[in-house]
Amino acid sequence: MAGKKKAGLRCPICKEEFKYVANLVGHLLSAHKDYDEQVEEPEPEPEEEKEVYECEFCGAQFETEAEAQQHVYEEHKEELAKRVEELMQDEEFMGELKEKAQEVLKNGGGENEGGDKKEDK
């Protein structure tokens, strides 16, 4: 019953030997503290992130917004016209539109004139 050598603890990363688990842990934490991040499985990249544009009238799908719009103009002209008409009659919608338009005019139009604020040097 002699000569049985206790197997040393080995750092699985750099193969350095340690007598005590605590030492190994300490070594791992100090020498390879970045290692955890490298070992972690990389997040699988989502492959299917294709955006699909759907026709709101018939549900047909298109790869680009332009295609979808063209489809609507070509296939659903009447529906589109109807919808616009409906929106024009919608007071709430038109009210919002007017408000927005006024905001834009306020913010965008004021700068061009530039007559209000004059600073003398």
Q: How far apart are CA 10 and CA 27, in angstroms?
A: 10
Cα 52 to the center of its chain, rounded Å: 16
Instruction: Please report how close the Cβ of residue 97 comes to Zn ion at its closest, in angstroms.
Output: 25
Q: What angle do CA 80, 105, 101 make, to 5 degrees?
A: 25
Instruction: Please report how close the Cβ of residue 15 comes to Zn ion at its closest, in angstroms.
Output: 7
Q: Which is nearer to Zn ion, 1 or 52 (CB)?
A: 52
Q: Which is nearer to Zn ion, 69 or 102 (CB)?
A: 69
Q: Which is nearer to Zn ion, 25 or 94 (CB)?
A: 25
Give the residues across from 62 on adjacent strands.
53
Instruction: Please report how close the Cβ of residue 30 comes to Zn ion at its closest, in angstroms.
Output: 9
Residues that bind Zn ion (CB under 5 A): 11, 13-14, 16, 31, 55, 57-58, 60, 75
Q: Which is nearer to Zn ion, 17 or 90 (CB)?
A: 17
Q: Where do runs of H (alpha helix) occur along 41-90?
A: 65-75, 77-89
| Dihedral (Cα; 79, 82, 87, 90), 10-degree rounding | -130
Instruction: Please report how close the Cβ of residue 81 comes to Zn ion at its closest, in angstroms.
Output: 15
